[in-house]
Chain A
Amino acid sequence: MPEFTGGAIGGDLLAAVPFGDIVNYITPLTATLFAVALIFTVFAIISRPEKQLDIVFGTDAVYAKEVTPDELKFRRFMAVACGIATLGAMVSGDIFNFTLFVSLIGITIIGIVAAVKNQHVLNAAFQYGIVAMTATVPLFAGAAITLATTGTLSIWELSAGTGVPLIAKLLLLLGVMGEGIAPFYAAKTELFRAPGAPYVILIHVSSLLMFLRVIEILLAV
Chain B
Amino acid sequence: MNEYTIGLAVAFTGIAVAFLALARERDDLHRLLLTDLAEILALAVIALVGTDLAEALILPGLVVGISELMALSEIYLKKERLYDEPTERVHFEVMDTAPGILGAVLVVYGVVLAGFSGGAVAGLGVLFWFLCKGHREQFELLETVSGYAWAAWIGAFLVFMLLPQYWFFAVMVAGTAVLVKVMTKMSLLGTMRGGQDA
Query: Which residues of A are in contact with B by a Cβ distance under 8 Å?
Result: 96, 100, 103-104, 106-107, 110-111, 114, 117, 119, 122-123, 125-126, 129-130, 132-134, 136-137, 139-141, 143-145, 147-148, 153
Contact = CB atoms under 8 A, between A and B. Distances in A.
A100 B64 contact: yes
Given A140-B45, A147-B53, A126 B68 contact: no
A4 B38 CA distance: 36
Interface stretch (B27-35, B145-153, B165-173, B190-198): B27-35
Contacts of A129: 68, 71-72, 75
A106 B75 CA distance: 15
12 contacts: A100-B64, A103-B64, A104-B64, A114-B71, A129-B72, A130-B72, A136-B39, A140-B42, A140-B43, A140-B61, A141-B42, A148-B4
A100 B60 CA distance: 8
Interface in B37-75: 38-39, 41-43, 45-46, 48-49, 51, 53-54, 57, 60-61, 64-65, 67-69, 71-72, 74-75
Nearest to B65: A136
Interface range, B side: 35 or more
B10 to A, nearest CB: 13
Nearest to A171: B45
Nearest to A125: B75
B162 to A, nearest CB: 13
Given A140-B61, A148-B4, A132 B68 contact: yes
Contacts of B15: 137, 141
B79 A96 contact: no
B154 to A, nearest CB: 14
B188 interface: no
B180 interface: no
B60 A122 contact: no
A110 B72 contact: yes
Given A107-B67, A107-B71, A130-B31, 15 more contacts: A100-B64, A104-B64, A122-B75, A133-B65, A133-B72, A136-B61, A136-B65, A137-B39, A137-B45, A140-B46, A141-B46, A144-B45, A144-B49, A147-B54, A153-B53
B24 to A, nearest CB: 14
A114 B39 contact: no
B41 A137 contact: yes
Contacts of B42: 136-137, 139-141
Contacts of B78: 114, 117, 122
A113 B56 CA distance: 31
B139 interface: no
B7 to A, nearest CB: 10
Given A133-B68, A134-B19, A148 B48 contact: yes
Contacts of A132: 68
Nearest to A141: B45
Contacts of B79: 119, 122-123, 126
A122 B74 CA distance: 10
Q: A106, A117, A147, A148: which has the most chain B beta carbons within 10 Å? A: A148
